[in-house]
Structure 1
Amino acid sequence: MTLSMAAFTLNDACVKLVAETVPLFQIVALRGLATTIMLAVFVQMTTGLRFSIPRRDRPLVAGRTLAEVGAMVCFLLALTNMSIANATAILAALPLAVTLGAALVFGDPVGWRRMTAIGIGFLGVLLIVQPGTDGFNAWSLLVLLSVVIITGRDLLTRAFSPAVPSMTVAVLTAGAVGVFGGVMSLFEPWQALDPREAVLVFAASVFIIGGYVFGIMAMRVGEVSFVSPFRYTSLVFALVLGLTIFDEFPNALALLGGVIVVATGLFTLLRERIVARAAARAAARSAATPGAPHG
């Protein structure tokens, strides 16, 4: 999971660097093309590409793909106009948003402790965004919008049946992002890439594949409640890259907000783990009780 977060953050840094001289949607189109080809080859060589998606899941896959495209547009537009560390810190509120969304949509039980943590976490986001101050950057609102869209994407993903091949969905998503970038790039003047720009676009493609592959490996092999907190290492990578490459560093309020978001997110994940284990123990006791009903 740490490698996945490093790869995604390095992808963001590459895009931010090349966007200084190349139109954004040209980058999205070229990265999408390279990513789709390399990811499709990788999947075919490992598990094999399977496009047999059950009929009931097709609208969900289509909705998830549209959400991925929308979140990508919002986040990259914001990223090219604000600090990479601030953008990543706002994105760190995603686990809180997903927990809240699952409670509202699926009726997942969320106790007062986690609801309190979610509220405090969103106050931390406000410290990062800093509305009404000189440090406010309207692009931060686009990152917040991307958090909302990604939450919807993750809730759609949760509704998938087990028959949906996850890596095939990743390939379809990469292809959709590339096609969208290609269409939007028609409204921008394309330009030839110099060697540095070409290397950065290719590197972004490799890093984003690494992010997908390492993330899926972590979620399949490790216990979800254990590996999920390591998502927050992305903020460390973003701070280091922002300082060393872009000479950017969040102000004190934004740093405090980032700490609050991470702390409340970790607490929420810990509580989810405790509640899940308690439910598992209760179910085991019920099954072991003589005469207990079995379903």
Structure 2
Amino acid sequence: MHSTANFRGAIFMCLAMAGFTCNDALVKSVTGVMNSGQIMLVRGFFTYILVLLLARHFGAMRSFRLVLSPAVAMRIAAEVAASIAYISALGQLPLANASAILQALPLAVTLGAALFLSEPVGWRRWLAILIGFLGVLIVLRPGPDGFTGAALSVIASVVFAAIRDLCTRRIDHAIPSLFIAVITATAITATGAVLIVPLGGWQPMSAGTVGTLAVASILLLVGYQFIVLAMRNGEIGIIAPFRYTSLIWSIGIGILFFSEEPDIWMVTGVAIIVASGLYTFARERKRRMATPAQESEPGSP
């Protein structure tokens, strides 16, 4: 029964990564005809409509005054900043490279949890985090040519996404996830509207472009829903490594649709990031398994 739940969780995680990566590819495909603000506005509008309908259907709507909660407000701000940084970079970086840098997110969350939430991190996981970030540097390519503005934007999106995830841990569990999605989509859509003029103004859109962003918003929502299902079905230490299937999608889509060819730097960096991430997941799973065992020992506090 337990193995069946983990199998379902792994499948859901793979589907979530497929949704997220295909969303990224569709967004990347329209970066040449509109600016990041317009993309955020149009895709955000479709996402807002979808999550609002879902939230109303499941009775998840709450007072918007909850935005005044520090954890909620900071989470929304971090999500908006991560979206701006990542969408800005997608049009200038190969899809596989952007996806590879994003794989450092679990390491960044572990680092943040240790520094700001006082979660225990042993020397082995500290070493894995450092090695993982070394892998990110290799993907960026050693030397000044690798540190482009787009590459730094993806790194910034990882930092903001880590802040978002850490803030999520502090949000009251009584606040439904769908309601958080509604206010986040609202904030992203409004921010996109504000950024359109500073980033170059509104550009006419074809029906195909609008349809592309509508499908992207659906895939984004699919990714979020499946990742929730994954976390609720399987053990995190077992299913979390399947997030790396996004690299398979991003490399394949990059080759087939964007004529991108992974080079030795990218492949080497990805291998290091994945290896360090898998080790971190394994250590975390071992720690979680050991804690209940210690608590159950006679005389333990």
Fold-level similarity (TM above 0.5): yes
Q: Deviations over 1:170-202 (max 9, x none)?
A: 111111101100111133332332122122111
Map 1:51-66 onto structure 2 (within 5 A).
51-52=62-63, 58-66=69-77
Q: 1:80 aligns with which of 64, 80, 91?
A: 91
- Aligned letter for 1:170? A
Match of 2:205 in 1: 193
Match of 2:174 in 1: 163
Q: How far off its partner does 1:49 sit?
A: 2.3
Match of 1:215 in 2: 227
Q: TM-score, normalised by structure 2?
A: 0.90
Q: TM-score, normalised by structure 1?
A: 0.92
Are positions 1:115 and 2:126 aligned together?
yes
User: Relative to structure 2, which stretch is displaced further, 228-237 or 268-277?
Assistant: 228-237
Match of 1:71 in 2: 82
Please report the RMSD computed on the Cα atoms of aligned residues, expressed in angstroms. Answer: 1.9
Q: How far off its partner does 1:293 sit?
A: 7.5
CA distance in 2, matches of 1:114, 1:210: 31
Map 1:248-287 onto structure 2 (within 5 A).
248-285=260-297
Q: Measured at CA, do residues 28 and 118 of structure 1 come closer, stay the same or move farther in structure 2, by a change above 3 Å?
A: same
The unaligned stretches of length 5 or more in structure 2 are: 1-12
Q: How far off its partner does 1:132 sit?
A: 1.3
| Paired residue secondary structure (2:151) | helix
Q: How far off its partner does 1:218 sit?
A: 1.4
Are positions 1:234 and 2:246 aligned together?
yes
CA distance in 1, matches of 2:149, 2:78: 21
Q: Measured at CA, do residues 108 and 30 of structure 1 come closer, stay the same or move farther in structure 2, by a change above 3 Å?
A: same
Q: Deviations over 1:110-135 (max 9, x none)?
A: 11111111111111111001141545
- Aligned letter for 1:33? F
Is 1:25–1:182's contact at 8 Å kept on the other side of the alignment?
Answer: yes
Is 1:64–1:153's contact at 8 Å kept on the other side of the alignment?
Answer: yes
Q: Deviations over 1:240-268 (max 9, x none)?
A: 11111101122101110011001100110
* Percent identity over paired residues: 42
Is 2:54–2:178's contact at 8 Å kept on the other side of the alignment?
Answer: no
Q: Measured at CA, do residues 55 and 200 of structure 1 come closer, stay the same or move farther in structure 2, by a change above 3 Å?
A: closer
- Aligned letter for 1:260? I
Q: How far off its partner does 1:50 sit?
A: 2.6
The unaligned stretches of length 5 or more in structure 1 are: none
Q: How far off its partner does 1:39 sit?
A: 1.4
CA distance in 2, matches of 1:237, 1:72: 20
